[in-house]
Amino acid sequence: MHKQNQPQWLGAIAIAFLSLSFPLLFAEAALANPKPAISAQQQETEAQEINRLIEQLKTDDELEWHNTIQKLAARGESALPYLIASVSHPDMRVRLGTISVLEAGHLQSLAFVSLSEKLGNSQQDAKVRRYISQALLLVLHDGYFWEEQDWSSAIPVLTSALEDSDALVRRSAAYALGKIGAEAKSAIPALTSALQDPDDSVRRSAASALGRMGAEAKSAIPALTSALQDPDNSVHVRINAAGALVKIGAEAKSAIPALILALQDPDDSVRMNATFVLASMGAEAKSAIPALILVLQDPDDSVRMNAAGALASMGAEAKSAIPALILAFKDSNASVRMSATSALGRMGAEAKSAIPALILALQDPDDSMRMNAAGALGSMGAEAKSAIPALILALKDSNDSVRGSATSALGSMGAEAKSAIPELVNLLPDDSFMVLFTLGSIASSLEKNASQLTNQELDKVIQELNLALKIAEDPTNKFSVDQIDRLRYPLNVLKEIRRDRLFKQAILQNPWAWVGIFYLIILPSFWLVVLR
């Protein structure tokens, strides 16, 4: 390879070492052959070999460069001190190569601690600290083999580095603290201060790091709220601030007024993240409902969809949004329509005014929309009994998930869904467990409400459920005893109720039965009294 071509392949390398290929290959190579204890002479020989390999990374031959990286990775932990020393090597090829090795799974967490401590060395000049910072960012880029590690020595060093004069060092420190997560909670005050850093990338990393600490970072809520509102912050800072508030959860309710304002942010991503935060708070964020209703008209599909999701998280508290959610059924975006149906489903019977619209939605061309519409109707229980004919039709839908959702919805309506029994029985051999479960639910409800059934209705459901039980008991259908008993027990009770009715009916309609009762009960009692 010629010298003039060097920048091209180095650029390719810079991208390559961010991929998954090196960490996966190196982790396998290093873990496959653990090193036994070696003598001092062997250690010296190995050190010389490692340093020789590191020097070979200066090659202009791309294939040789990759092979050298693999050889270094195979050395495992014994190469770690030499690799750490080489991340600040003046030759970029060496720096990139050593970082690629340090990305390897089991080395990654060890390299993290070593690099953090090296970053905190005040004797390092600015250029070296920048190299170390770059290495730290790149080594942490993929945490697929992240191991349990004692971070106690790294946390104070990284916290101090948040005040370094170099923005890259500060950014790297914030990013690394975020990777540690809640274990680095002692750094929260410093990270909170970093939200006011003059460098935008540092503020962005600080907001992200606070988010990774979850509820532990609740003391940062006011600062994160300010960062969300600050027009001088980039979109990325505002997005990360909103994301941090999401991870802190309901504790961040003091930020609700700022989040309501963020729903009007000119950037789509900021508005979307604001809906995420409000959704994470559930009913605690009910003061945002009017603003979320307006956001259902947002020009961005994802924002509208997530606004409906935020309303869904508030359940029946968001019932004032029902008319707007019904209108959202006509949205041009299928995901928005689906999210609106889910929101109505979360409101249960409070959303009964949406039943006609949900019945129409059972004919939507989108499978997920039909499935969610059936689920929403099911959440309303017997209040949605007017939808039973449409749900029975949905049992013939070409999509398995739609049929399953319709089946479940009918089960939630109990005895009101008795007209669906024949169609459910037809499905039983194919759609199996869910259908049998639903038939059991309907049978249990019929048992509890048997007094409201005429004899003719009772005979009909017993006949239909008997057929279902016969199919369920067929060994080829492989239902468990518990699954079958869910139908058998209430059916047996219904049969007992029917026998009891027949007996009473026979007594009432047969005059000779009354003579028998008199002869067997009344007459003996009369003679006992007389004979006394």
Q: What is the arithmetic mean of pLDDT over 328-337?
A: 93
Say how far apart CA 97 and CA 54 lie, in whole Å.
8
Q: Does the pLDDT value for residue 59 go beyond 70?
A: yes
Phi, psi torsion values for 397, nearest 5 degrees = -60, 150
Q: 211 near 247, Cβ under 8 Å?
A: yes
What sign does the CA torsion over 213, 219, 223, 224 have?
A: positive
> What is residue 71's predicted lDDT score, i.e. its pLDDT?
83
DSSP assignment of 175-186? HHHHHHGGGGGG
Place 531 in a pLDDT band, splitting at 50, 70 and 90: low
Secondary structure element (H or E) that encloses residue 35, with its range: none
Q: 162 near 174, Cβ under 8 Å?
A: yes
Say how far apart CA 95 and CA 85 lie, in whole Å.
10
Q: Which two tokens stand for residue 50?
A: 């490692």
Q: Which two tokens stand for residue 389?
A: 């004919």
| Lowest model confidence (mean pLDDT) among 199-208, 226-235, 464-473, 505-514 | 505-514
Secondary structure element (H or E) that encloses residue 470, with its range: helix 455-473
> What is residue 240's predicted lDDT score, i.e. its pLDDT?
93
Q: 468 near 439, Cβ under 8 Å?
A: yes
DSSP assignment of 503-518? HHHHHHH-HHHHHHHI
pTM for the model: 0.70
What sign does the CA torsion over 360, 363, 369, 374 have?
A: positive
Q: Where are the domains of the chain?
A: 1-33+44-149, 413-532
Mean pLDDT, rounded, of the chain: 84
Count of alpha carbons within 13 angstroms of residue 431, beta-carbon side: 27
Stronger pLDDT, 256 or 61, i.e. the higher one: 256
Rounded to an integer, what is the distance from CA 96 to the centroid of its chain? 36
> What is residue 410's predicted lDDT score, i.e. its pLDDT?
97
> What is residue 151's predicted lDDT score, i.e. its pLDDT?
73
**CA nearest 108: which of 85, 68, 141, 69?**
141
Q: What is the arithmetic mean of pLDDT over 257-267?
A: 93
Helix residue ranges per DSSP H, 213-333: 221-229, 235-248, 256-262, 268-281, 289-295, 301-313, 322-327
Q: What is the arithmetic mean of pLDDT over 249-278?
A: 90
Q: 341 near 373, Cβ under 8 Å?
A: yes
Q: What is the arithmetic mean of pLDDT over 448-461?
A: 92
Q: Does the pLDDT value for residue 52 go beyond 80?
A: yes
Stronger pLDDT, 8 or 92, i.e. the higher one: 92
Q: Does the pLDDT value for residue 6 go beyond 60?
A: no
Q: Does the pLDDT value for residue 228 go beyond 80?
A: yes
Q: 416 near 426, Cβ under 8 Å?
A: no
Q: Which two tokens stand for residue 277?
A: 């935060």
Q: Which two tokens stand for residue 47?
A: 């050190």
> What is residue 441's predicted lDDT score, i.e. its pLDDT?
95
Say how far apart CA 373 and CA 190 lie, in whole Å.
49
Place 121 in a pLDDT band, splitting at 50, 70 and 90: low
Q: 370 near 337, Cβ under 8 Å?
A: no
Q: Which two tokens stand for residue 313?
A: 């998280």
Q: 206 near 194, Cβ under 8 Å?
A: yes
What does DSSP assign to residue 522? I
> What is residue 503's predicted lDDT score, i.e. its pLDDT?
73
Residue 408, Cβ neighbours under 10 Å: how many?
Answer: 19
**CA nearest 356: which of 322, 332, 331?**
322
Q: Does the pLDDT value for residue 5 go beyond 60?
A: no
Q: Does the pLDDT value for residue 334 go beyond 70?
A: yes
Q: Does the pLDDT value for residue 32 go beyond 60?
A: no
Q: How many helices (H) and strands (E) does the chain have?
A: 29, 0
Q: 370 near 364, Cβ under 8 Å?
A: yes
Say how far apart CA 181 and CA 166 lie, in whole Å.
23
Q: Does the pLDDT value for residue 18 go beyond 50?
A: no
Q: What is the arithmetic mean of pLDDT over 512-527?
A: 59
| Lowest model confidence (mean pLDDT) among 118-122, 262-266, 384-388, 414-418 | 118-122
> What is residue 8's predicted lDDT score, i.e. its pLDDT?
47
Q: Does the pLDDT value for residue 17 go beyond 50?
A: no
Q: Which two tokens stand for residue 117?
A: 């401590």
Residues 6+ apart with CB under 8 A from 131: 87, 88, 89, 95
Q: What is the arithmetic mean of pLDDT over 80-89?
A: 79
Q: 171 near 202, Cβ under 8 Å?
A: yes
225-244 as b/e: b if 16+ CB within 10 A: bebbbeeebeebbbbbbbbb
Q: What is the arithmetic mean of pLDDT over 200-219?
A: 94
> What is residue 30's predicted lDDT score, i.e. its pLDDT?
46
Stronger pLDDT, 32 or 259, i.e. the higher one: 259
Q: Does the pLDDT value for residue 274 go beyond 50?
A: yes
Q: What is the arithmetic mean of pLDDT over 67-80?
A: 81
